[in-house]
Structure 1
Amino acid sequence: MVNRFQCVADLQRRHGVKRLCSILGVSRSSFYYWRRTAADRAARQVTDARLAARIRAVHQESDGTYGAPRITAELREENGEAVNHKRVARIIRASGIEGVRLRRRHRTTVPDPAAAKAPDRISRDFTADRPNTKYVGDITYLPLEGGKFCYLATVIDLASRRLAGWAIAGHVRADLVTDALAAAVHTCGSLAGSIMHTDHGAQDGFN
């Protein structure tokens, strides 16, 4: 539709708006509205381009894992700007940006109800003022061909929101977790004095 409006605009002096709109199957009122709002569209394209650059930066900082909801939250936290999530989603689609989608955790063991749970030392505060002070760990299953799957253990720094360490294995034994923690130590130098948090669930190897 926009291309047809542009065609009318380009040829109107030679052939007239009425004739061109009739040939192209568009109404004159729609064409005049399109022409009248050209400045607003141009301004919106500029702001969209600036927002797209910020979206791309947040997406890259997350190693490609953030989708529209997480990117919107990061942009709002960044400068307190009321960014509309629908607008973010639209720009993401137009820019071809895609977040990595991980499947939900596959429950393979049943926790002992009598076992003592590790205390929530971060009190559900998933923020940190300084790097290497608070981490979150998780284990996610990744389906493979033939009905098989493997497990991904991750360690994420809550200050930078970056992946500090990870490990993949075909099991959920303790060494999967220790390998992920060892990778985090290799990245950060040391985890001494930091807090590691995981949600209580079937895989509580981090606790």
Structure 2
Amino acid sequence: MSRYRFIEAHCGQYPIRLLCQVVGAPASGYYVWQQAQEQAVAPGEPAWERALVQVFGRHKRRYGTRRLQVALRRKGYRVGRQRLRTAMRQRGLHALQPKAYTPRTTDSTHGLRCAPNRLLDQPKPTQANRVWVSDITYLPLANGDWAYLCAFQDVASKQVVGWQVGATMPEELVTTALQRAFWAQPPTPGLLVHSDRGGQYCGTAYRQLLHDHQAVRSQSRRGDCYDNAQAESLWSRLKTEVLELRERPVFADLADARASVADYFDYYNHERLHSSIDYQTPYHTHQQLLPLNALNCPGYPEV
């Protein structure tokens, strides 16, 4: 592999100038080579391989062979996953891999009354805005402090419908994220909103906000974090696909965390193909699965 191909393969993970220093190549030389690659067709290189490199770079190492195969097929290239693996290995292209999740039980010793798990033994919803899940996660900052992210995600479409990042995690973190979700999505009466047993999801303001929008509260069973597995999966994907691309796996500060989360959720909703929804984007799927009475509707009146 040439020095410039090595830089091209890893530029989604590290700054180009840093890679040039590592391999002893001038940055100007790399940019000249890159421009030549875009303008000329390499002799004997199949068109699907050039498309592979473009798609892989566009999604910043977030696509493995399954999503790459779907993306290339939609461009007119029918390529098997084994050929993709071989081509990627030859070019030094390595997709990001989520780390194994080690569950941590939520502290539910707050003394507040929790709701039952109303998702148990229920079929998966087939319409959007019928069931949302939520959770809070920690975001590491460069100074050693933490930021906190709360998000609400639709179960059927996988779209992130509302989120909030804060320096602390009071009940307001959750209610702000939920209110943003209600502003973005006309709440369907009877909407089920599921979370873990954290105290933020048991407070008066949170319960009142649900009541005002005719939504129903649901919470995981004690000590069983897998009751909220979809929310945990979102955190695993976000931290892998945002932090693992950085020189250091931290956010610079609170403002950087907010901006990075906003960029990622915009990408996640509108561009990233999701395997569980037939390799469609969450936004596209959400629009397809909206109840008919929610289409072109500015919102429901409060009761």
TM-score normalised according to structure 1 size: 0.49
The answer to which structure, 1 or 2, has the higher relative contact order (CA under 8 A, 6+ apart) is 2
Larger Rg: 1
